Amino acid sequence: MNKRDAKFTAAAKDGSDFTAATGGGPGGAADAGERNIAPATQSPHAPATSGPAMGVSRPHESARAQVAGSATYIDDIPEVRGTLHAAPILSTVAHGRLLGVDAGAALALPGVRGVVLAGDIPGDKMLATFVGDEPIFAIDTVQHIGQVIGLVVAETVMQARRAARLVKQDIEALPALLGPRAAHAAQSYVLPKVVVRRGEPEAALTKSVHTLTGQLEVGGQEHFYLEGQVAYALPLEQDQWWIYSSTQHPGEIQHWVAHALGIENNAVTVECRRMGGGFGGKETQAGHLAVWATLAARKFKCPVKLRLDRDDDFMVTGKRHPFAYDYSAGYDNTGLLTALQLTMLADCGFSADLSGPVADRAIFHADNAYFLSDVEIVSHRCKTNTQSHTAFRGFGGPQGVIVIESILGDIARKLGLDPFDVRMRNLYGDDMTAGSATAPPPERNTTHYQMKVEDNILAPLLSKLEQTSDYRRRREAISAWNADSPVIKRGIAITPVKFGISFTATFFNQAGALVHVYTDGSVQVNHGGTEMGQGLNTKVAQIVADELGVPFERVRCTAADTSKVPNASATAASSGTDLNGRAAQYAARNVRDNLAAFAAGMDGCGAGAVRFQGGQVISPKATRSFDEVVKAAYANRIQLWSDGFYRTPKIHYDKTTLTGRPFYYFSYGAACSEVAIDTLTGESRVLKVDILHDVGTSINPALDIGQIEGGFVQGMGWLTTEQLVWNDKGLLTTHAPSTYKIPATGDIPEHFKIDLWPEANREDNVGGSKAVGEPPFMLAISVYEALREAVGAVKAGDEPVVMVAPATAENVLRALSNLSLRA
């Protein structure tokens, strides 16, 4: 046990019930600390199995190769002879006029071939973003430290990087805007504000029994994917291009590269076999590298690879959007919200990127699990002189959820109520306290953007977690602990999540796939999704295997490739399996129908009577192996491949008013987190986590639970240790693992229990499943609320606990100091 561990456990020696309250003993951490992950039952190279492929915890399709070090990432692809390497020239000023660059010292170094600047761009000098406000290379101005002015191209990676740092920049500095409040005060925005309103919040606020006003500051987050940003551009004959890119959106890479070169999309092919993590950071940001590498390859007429080192990756790429909030809330004596006025200030950085839909989703999720009767939400998309912030797991959802959870936590403290009871009081669902013998209870089932919540399982799910986590007893034990412990304080909180599943840009909710059955009975699948470690290809293979009735081991998914499935949407919005899995299922169904009709013809029965199961094709008259039927079908010229296409049904909304049904369904979950803080140092530890999460009917329980674990821990990092710090010059000072701290193995709670809600998706989704990539991230808000509970335990009273997120040791100490000063 190290000193830090000892500090949080030594207090147990005084006889207090620390062991029981932290989960030790029967049913606690000592017994239930293991992850509830179903064991992986198959090796990718094990003999074929006869049971169904879906609903089984199968290993990730690349697991063996990844462990053995034989899985190929972009930087592992053998380089074509003559390949050059590029490195970016980064602005050293946050805002200024770019008067010129002097590359003389760089060009004098051995191996350096030249530089690429804005003047070398044959097509549009602006990136092909939706807004078109971001230059490929800085042209007349620089707008953040780390903005790419151009590239140095050399024979080796290190030659290019060393030379890039020798390029002299002539920049006339201008005032820089740092932080969303400064930008808002200066009326500096990347996009117009958006207002969503229901009822009469001003009048309702005036009539409310109690009111609460406050502010909240929530920081951003670096993606910190294990594989950094990388692209490899290869020129082909007749002005065609093959681009290897570590990207979540190959189709967008194709479009951006063609746009920059001034050529058509059909001349560019983009391939991505896998990424070493993405988390949203490779949705648009990967496009920059692909364009830069291709421009260099065009100028020097040879292949060019561009891979950012970690420091440059930090300095160049966007992060999760930091947010600031101002709010006024009305509520009654039971904690029921009666009015809310909320202003959101999204720090977008210097360009729009995806800030519009990110800020929109923050509006959509400002209710989280709670009905808002009279509400106005004003969203400002602020322009600052920092990196252009971008997609990150949750895509604005976490920034919406955290503010309403903070408000409810403060209301509970003001009223002296259990925060869990206040949350339960505000859930969507009929208000049974307001009904009468003659009048039914009022409906509380429609969101502030006019979508009805039809699949609500919040109340039973939360009640179940309350019981299984032993929340009430533990809360009492923690209260007793805090009364006797002057230094180590503990807190506990349960928070839910209701997360909408679909792209808010409706047209992205489509997917295509190809399924090929070869004459030996093996199956190959290609779809528009990308694999970034989440197991998408594994799930798609399971779906196709069951559709064809063949063993899982007979199905192989291949690299995402724009020449196979065109115009594919990004693998994002947690919809990778929903979209691509269903498209692949439809493609496989077409092949199966062809084979069924063929078998029915042989046996003189209807095609509907033919079954595909366990690698066999079964009709009322005969049972044949799948391989046998395939060979016979080929000999009779039956089509053994097909495409499949899927578009999400039911969704629609007005993007000008943000009303309608933007989501196909909601995913739900809840977490109970227990924490401890050291009031002398501000250090904290997560002691125990219990999660109950809704994934519908799981296609692969091991993968789903892995996503829940990973999402929660990443969310925990956002709210505890991962602090982005820009100094007063606009320099990001936390740009390496030495200063930017993601959670490590020692931060994982000993007791980390995950259970899955046992109910299928009520909508007709593939396999009855639900999306799982993003919703668990927001469950970590329970850690932040538990930390605020621990801080509040230092001094009795009803004043809200004001704590900047992330709750680093420094921010915990500031919160403790503020609480003491207000007392």
Q: Where are the beta strands (DSSP E) in 662-764?
A: 665-678, 684-693, 751-756
Check: CB of residue 130 under 8 Å from CB of residue 716: no
Half-sphere exposure of 364 (CA within 13 A, CB side): 31
Alpha helix (H) residue ranges in 428-470: 458-468
Q: Which of 711, 781, 747 is nearest to 534 (CA)?
A: 711
Q: What are phi and psi of 37, to 5 degrees?
A: -105, 125
CA 80 distance to own-chain centroid: 34
Catalytic residue among 405, 709, 774, 785: 774
Dihedral (C-alpha) 342, 348, 351, 355: value to the nearest 10 degrees? -60
d(CA 275, CA 228): 9
d(CA 50, CA 614): 5
Q: How many CB atoms neighbour CB 601 within 10 A?
A: 12
Per DSSP, 116 falls in state E
Burial of 174 from C-beta contacts in 10 A (0-12 / 13-18 / 19+): middle
Check: CB of residue 722 under 8 Å from CB of residue 398: no
Check: CB of residue 115 under 8 Å from CB of residue 100: no
Q: Which of 677, 672, 671 is nearest to 815 (CA)?
A: 677
Backbone CA torsion sign across 133, 138, 141, 145:
positive
d(CA 254, CA 168): 33
Check: CB of residue 95 under 8 Å from CB of residue 143: yes
Q: In what order do the strands lie in the sheet containing 616-618? A: 611-613, 616-618, 623-625
- At residue 488, the 3 state secondary structure works out as strand
The full length of the chain comes to 823
Alpha helix (H) residue ranges in 416-498: 419-425, 458-468, 471-484
Q: How many CB atoms neighbour CB 719 within 10 A?
A: 24
Cβ neighbours of residue 772 closer than 8 Å, sequence gap 6 or more: 574, 667, 693, 695, 704, 707, 708, 711
Distances (CA, A) of 598 to 444, 544, 559: 54, 20, 31
Check: CB of residue 231 under 8 Å from CB of residue 246: yes
Is 763 one of the catalytic residues?
Answer: no
Check: CB of residue 358 under 8 Å from CB of residue 395: yes
Check: CB of residue 576 under 8 Å from CB of residue 501: no
Q: What is the 3-state secondary structure (H, E, C) of 738-793?
A: CCCCCCCHHHCCCEEEEEECCCCCCCCCHHHECCCCCHHHHHHHHHHHHHHHHHHC
Distances (CA, A) of 538 to 66, 282, 314, 552: 14, 21, 31, 9
Q: Which of 405, 284, 406, 404 is nearest to 356 (CA)?
A: 284
Name the token pair of 15. 């006889």
Q: Which of 424, 429, 508 is nearest to 472 (CA)?
A: 424
d(CA 214, CA 802): 9
d(CA 526, CA 534): 17
Check: CB of residue 597 under 8 Å from CB of residue 279: no
Catalytic positions, please?
774
